[in-house]
Amino acid sequence: MNLGIEHYLILSGVLFCIGLYGALAKRNAVGILMCIEIMLNAVNIAMVAFSRYLAPDVVVLTGQVFAIFVMTVAAAEAAVALAIIISVYRTRRSVDVEQMDLMQG
């Protein structure tokens, strides 16, 4: 068996779908955030695999550069999301997303 881009892309797709299922099907807001992190990791694997296998020039690393930016945005997103979750938990004593209706009219 030779490792090709298909293996990495299928691994990335499997991981993305696991994260998507968790993000849609869970009730705990922290659990949903963890599943979103799994999805971001899956996308990063796909981009690094593209950068390794499909770049016409070996020095072009645009896929890895994009992965770095995704990591930056993921770190910012995790910090703000956890701050929001803790802020909601303080007022409602719950992190169940089915009970979060603070913005309903």
Partner 1 sequence: MTEVAFCIIAVILVGSAVAVVLLRDLFRSALLLIVSFFAVAAIYITLYADFLAAVQVLVYAGAIGILIIFAVMLTRDLRHGNPFNRISGPALLLALLLLATIVGVVVSTDWPTVSQVPQVVEMPLHDPVTGEAVRGSTSFLATALFDRDGGFVLPFEIASVLLLAALVGAIVLVRRKEKD
> Please, which of residues 45-104 interact with partner 1 by CB under 8 A?
45, 48-49, 51-56, 58-62, 64-65, 67-69, 71-80, 82-87, 89, 94-98
Binding residues for partner 1, rule CB under 8 A, total 77
Question: If binding is defined by CB under 8 A, does position 43 make contact with partner 1?
Answer: no
Site for partner 1 in 14-33 (CB under 8 A): 14-22, 24-31, 33
DSSP-derived secondary structure for 28-90: BHHHHHHHHHHHHHHHHHHHHHHHHHT-SSTT--HHHHHHHHHHHHHHHHHHHHHHHHHHHHH
Spatial contact of 24 and 90, defined as CB atoms under 8 Å apart: no
User: Quick one: which of 7, 91, 100, 103 contacts partner 1 (CB under 8 A)?
Assistant: 7
6 vs 101 by CB, closer to partner 1:
6
Distance (Å, rounded) from C-alpha 89 to C-alpha 84? 8
